[in-house]
Amino acid sequence: MAAAVLACDWGTTNLRAWTLDAAGKVVGDRDFPGLGVSKLDPGEAEARFRDEVRPALAADGLPAILCGMVGSNLGWTLAPYADAPAGLDDLAQRLKAVEGPDWIRIVPGVRCGGFNGQGDVMRGEETQVFGWLAADRARCEGRRLVCHPGTHAKWMLVEDGRLTRFVTAMTGELFAVLKTHSVLKSEAPADDMAAFDAGTAAAGEGDGLAARLFTARARVVGEGRPAEETPSYLSGLLIGAEVASLPGLLGCRGDEPVSLLGDPQLCGLYARALAARGVSADVHDGEAAAIAGLFALYERARR
């Protein structure tokens, strides 16, 4: 297979790159954990891309398409947001061209009014959700509730193939802060599923989260539970509160099926929390969706 295009998901902490053939199949791939945009100086992205990313994948001179935080004010160049509702063609028409001799395009993020009128934004997740749609055209029919777990989890409403609304939950970041810097800090792994399930149950409907969080402390010092359970309990409580409350912010019923898109292990925890509420969920790999989305956007832009 001959490489035809270089595709990159360039985020805050990591860069993942693939060369794809003319049919969108992966020819080569590399991970660049040191090249997240938060680790780069202003103006450094272009040189690192040219001097490190292209040679590592034997991709000198190939057309390139990039998504993620590389298109933010922290990245290479600003790719202005597209407004929701948005479809794949809307993003393709708003790809940001990078100046220079090579064909390089950056995918815009998407913004919407948010659940309370204060606005919401995403960069990168839109490419995955449109790749997920492109992988099965039947998904473009009707309404779909899609969740992309992560540091800043995205809950997205897709209607007839268009991203119409979404809401962000800082669940992953909140977990990291509480586990590292709060009275709940612990170095224990979050791999105790019984404690996770107890946290999910303690989340209730996601209301009164600040009070519910303190139960992670009280169950140890007041009830004698092992302190090593705290990270798993905290994880279950935060994810449980998210899955209980976020669909309603998008006007969805609490029992609507959810498509989980992202890291399989993290998606598995969300599926477990949803199942505890009697909600069905299917899990889809985020990397495969990112590749499909980047290639679909490349094909439309090159027509």
Q: Write down the CATH superfamily of domain 169-285.
A: 2-keto-3-deoxy-galactonokinase, C-terminal domain (3.30.420.310)
pLDDT tens-digit map of 17-39: 999 999 999 999 999 998 999 99
pLDDT at 53: 98
The boundaries of every CATH 3.30.420.310 domain in the chain are: 169-285
pLDDT tens-digit map of 196-250: 999 999 999 999 999 999 999 999 999 999 999 999 999 999 999 999 999 999 9
* Residue 214 to residue 194: CA distance in whole angstroms: 19
Q: 5-137+290-301, what's its fold?
A: Nucleotidyltransferase; domain 5 (3.30.420)
Give the burial class of 132: count Cβ atoms within 10 A of its Cβ; 0-12 exposed, 13-18 middle, 19 or more buried: buried
pLDDT tens-digit map of 36-90: 999 999 999 999 999 999 999 999 999 999 999 999 999 999 999 999 999 999 9
The boundaries of every CATH 3.30.420.300 domain in the chain are: 5-137+290-301
Only one residue has tokens 């100086």, namely 41
